[in-house]
Structure 1
Amino acid sequence: MRVLLTGHRGYLGSVMAPCLLAAGHDVVGLDSGLFAGCILGPDSAEVPSIHADIRDVTASHLVGFDAVIHLAALSNDPLGSLAPEITFDINHHASLHLARLAKDAGVQRFLYASTCSVYGSAGEDLVTESAPLRPLTPYAESKVRVEEDVTAIADSGFSPVFLRNATAFGFSPCLRADIVLNNLVGVAMLTGTVRVLSDGTPWRPLVHARDIAAAFCAALVAPVDAIHCRAYNVGTEDNNVTVAQIAEAAATAVPNSTVDVTGETGPDPRSYRVDFSAIRTAFEGYTPQWTVVAGAVELYENYVRWGLTEELFTTRFTRLAHLRTLQTAGLLDASLRFQRVGAGRD
């Protein structure tokens, strides 16, 4: 199958591209290069690519593909809260534009990377895909809007599926240090203490980047009629954990580190546990392989192996800080577009 993978040089894309290649697909990437330099270790996302901002995609970019896997987005809550209008421009409007172009170009499958954070604050009950959507951030709201608007344009020739990923963790060549387990393992390694500013009680569903990639690979070949316009939570119930438990996993992985739950920011309203049974039923053989504890060990080993430093951790691998660095250097404008042709390629 010929697949266009947007955001192929990002945190998930750098893991997903090799997975798709290993499954025998013909993969072409599309990426603006915002995070092209955020590499720790070998870069494994070398596929033929289109250098383009997702907002500037044209019909010619979509011709000849059987499927689009759409990962490209502004991908965390602090960034969305800082610039909600840009978040909606990229995550919502550009995503809908991409879907319409894909439909017009005859692309049958459209796999969209959504998020379990669409459920917001759901309490103690396990939430299924039919649960009310209560997004609490611009990032989560943008994902809800895309699901609704792309569903509205689906038909017999254009079949979207929405994969609601749990909070990702795990090592990727294009590292992110601003997601919870990745961050806490890094803090433990660099300081010796895992500091939790909340009270540690909120629930989070976690899933390894490779298990996300495996879910997309499974969705790509699942019967179209069976998954048409469906949403699937991506993860495993075993990785529904509290923030305090995530901190303990980080401390266990990093020798001689301790946990300090300060509680200074109080309880976090984003708390939810997720039911993942639907994806196991829909995609035969799909079973996430990674536990939070194993992921913490993997992260620590790779941080040590590839020489993670505090400067890299807090600047290059923290999305918001990295974008501010590019803006300060005059490479990005206020809308997060590159100021000169070729910027972001290397």
Structure 2
Amino acid sequence: MRVLLTGHRGYLGTVMASCLLGAGHDVVGLDSGLFAGCILGPAPVDVPSIDVDLRDVQQSHLFGFDAVIHLAALSNDPLGSLAPEITYAINHHASVRLARLAKDAGVQRFLYASTCSVYGSAGDELVTEDAPLRPLTPYAESKVRVEEDVTALADSGFSPVFLRNATAFGFSPCLRADIVLNNLVGVAMLTGTVRVLSDGTPWRPLVHARDIATAFCAALVAPVDAVHCRAYNVGTETNNVTVAQIAEAAAAAVPDSTVAVTGETGPDPRSYRVDFSAIRTALDGYTPQWTVADGAVELYENYVRWGLTEELFTTRFTRLAHLQTLRASGVLDESLRFLRVGAGHG
């Protein structure tokens, strides 16, 4: 299958590209290059690429593809809160426009990377895909809007599926240090203490980046009637854990580190546990392989192996700080567009 993968230079995209190639697909990437330099360790797998901002995609970019896997987004709650208008422009409007262009270009399948954070504050009950959507951030709200608007485009020739990923973790060539497990393992390694600023009680569903990639690869070739215009939670109930439990896993993976739950920010309203049974049924027994504990060990080993430093951890691999640096240095304008042609693709 010939697949256009948006965001292929990102945290999930670099892992997804390898999975797709391993499954025998013909992969072309589409990416603006915002995070092209955020690499720790070996370079990601190389695929042909279209270097364009998601907001500037044209129909000519979509011809000849059987499917689009759409990952590209500003995937960061702090950034979304700082600049919600940019988050909506990219994550919502540009994503829906991409889907329309894909449909008009004859693309038959559209796999959209949504998020379990659309459930917001759901308490202790396991939420299914039919649960009320209560997004609490601009990022999560943008995902809900895309699901609604792309659903309206579905017909017999255009089949979208919405994969609501749990919070990602795990090592990727294009590292992110601002997602919970990745962050806490890094803090433990660099400081010796895992600091939890909330009270540690909120629930989070977690899933490894490679398990996300496996889910997308399975959905890509699933019978159309199994996935057409459906939403599926991506993860496993085993990895429904509290923030305190995530901190304990990070400390267990890093020698001589301890946990400190400060509670200084008070309770976090984002708390939800997720039911993942639907995707196991739809995708022929799909089950994630990575536990939180295994992921913490993997992260620590790679951080040590590839020489993670505090400066890299807090700047290059923290999305908001990285973008602020690019804006301050004159590489990006206020709307996160490159001011120099090709600046993001090196």
Name the TM-score class by shorter chain.
Answer: over 0.9
Q: CA-to-partner distance for each residue in 1:270-309, whole Å, 9 max, x for gaps?
A: 0000000000000013110000000000000000000000
Q: Is the 8 A contact 1:161 1:227 kept in 2?
A: yes
| Residue of structure 1 equivalent to 2:201 | 201
Aligned to 1:12, the other structure's residue is in SS state helix
What displacement does 1:192 show?
A: 0.1
Give the stretch that moved more between structures: 4-13 or 282-291.
282-291
CA–CA distance in structure 2, aligned partners of residues 272 and 283 of structure 1:
24
In structure 2, give the amino acid aligned to 1:49: S
CA–CA distance in structure 2, aligned partners of residues 44 and 198 of structure 1:
35
Q: Is the 8 A contact 1:69 1:112 kept in 2?
A: yes
CA–CA distance in structure 1, aligned partners of residues 168 and 141 of structure 2:
18
Q: Is the 8 A contact 1:17 1:27 kept in 2?
A: yes
| Residue of structure 2 equivalent to 1:212 | 212
Q: Is the 8 A contact 1:8 1:45 kept in 2?
A: no
In structure 2, give the amino acid aligned to 1:317: F
| Residue of structure 1 equivalent to 2:2 | 2
* Map 1:67-216 → 2, pairs under 5 A: 67-216=67-216
CA–CA distance in structure 2, aligned partners of residues 192 and 160 of structure 1:
45
| Residue of structure 1 equivalent to 2:252 | 252
In structure 2, give the amino acid aligned to 1:62: L
Q: Is the 8 A contact 1:96 1:146 kept in 2?
A: yes
CA–CA distance in structure 1, aligned partners of residues 187 and 226 of structure 2:
43
Aligned to 2:263, the other structure's residue is in SS state strand
Aligned to 2:197, the other structure's residue is in SS state strand
Is 1:30 matched with 2:30?
yes
* Map 1:224-239 → 2, pairs under 5 A: 224-239=224-239
In structure 1, give the amino acid aligned to 2:278: A
Give the stretch that moved more between structures: 158-167 or 220-229.
220-229
CA–CA distance in structure 1, aligned partners of residues 285 and 265 of structure 2:
41
Aligned to 2:225, the other structure's residue is in SS state helix
Q: CA-to-partner distance for each residue in 1:151-208, whole Å, 9 max, x for gaps?
A: 0011000000000000000000000000000000000000000000000000000000
CA–CA distance in structure 2, aligned partners of residues 94 and 43 of structure 1:
28
Q: Which runs of 5+ in 2 are unaligned?
A: none
CA–CA distance in structure 1, aligned partners of residues 342 and 240 of structure 2:
42
Q: TM-score, normalised by structure 1?
A: 1.00
| Residue of structure 2 equivalent to 1:307 | 307
Is 1:324 matched with 2:295?
no
CA–CA distance in structure 1, aligned partners of residues 316 and 297 of structure 2:
22
Q: TM-score, normalised by structure 2?
A: 1.00
In structure 2, give the amino acid aligned to 1:300: Y
CA–CA distance in structure 2, aligned partners of residues 280 and 8 of structure 1:
26
CA–CA distance in structure 1, aligned partners of residues 41 and 224 of structure 2:
37
- Backbone CA RMSD of aligned residues: 0.4
Q: CA-to-partner distance for each residue in 1:78-104, whole Å, 9 max, x for gaps?
A: 000000000000000000000000000
Q: CA-to-partner distance for each residue in 1:21-77, whole Å, 9 max, x for gaps?
A: 000000000000000000001122310000000000000000000000000000010
Q: Which runs of 5+ in 1 are unaligned?
A: none
Q: Is the 8 A contact 1:14 1:43 kept in 2?
A: no
| Residue of structure 1 equivalent to 2:48 | 48
In structure 1, give the amino acid aligned to 2:279: I
CA–CA distance in structure 1, aligned partners of residues 256 and 122 of structure 2:
35
What displacement does 1:227 show?
A: 0.9
CA–CA distance in structure 2, aligned partners of residues 225 and 157 of structure 1:
12
Runs of 4+ residues deviating >6 angstroms = none
In structure 1, give the amino acid aligned to 2:231: A
| Residue of structure 1 equivalent to 2:294 | 294
In structure 2, give the amino acid aligned to 1:311: E
| Residue of structure 1 equivalent to 2:261 | 261
| Residue of structure 1 equivalent to 2:63 | 63
What displacement does 1:226 show?
A: 1.7
In structure 2, give the amino acid aligned to 1:77: D
CA–CA distance in structure 2, aligned partners of residues 225 and 244 of structure 1:
40
Give the stretch that moved more between structures: 220-229 or 181-190.
220-229
CA–CA distance in structure 1, aligned partners of residues 269 and 328 of structure 2:
33
What displacement does 1:340 show?
A: 1.4
CA–CA distance in structure 2, aligned partners of residues 300 and 12 of structure 1:
19
What displacement does 1:114 show?
A: 0.1
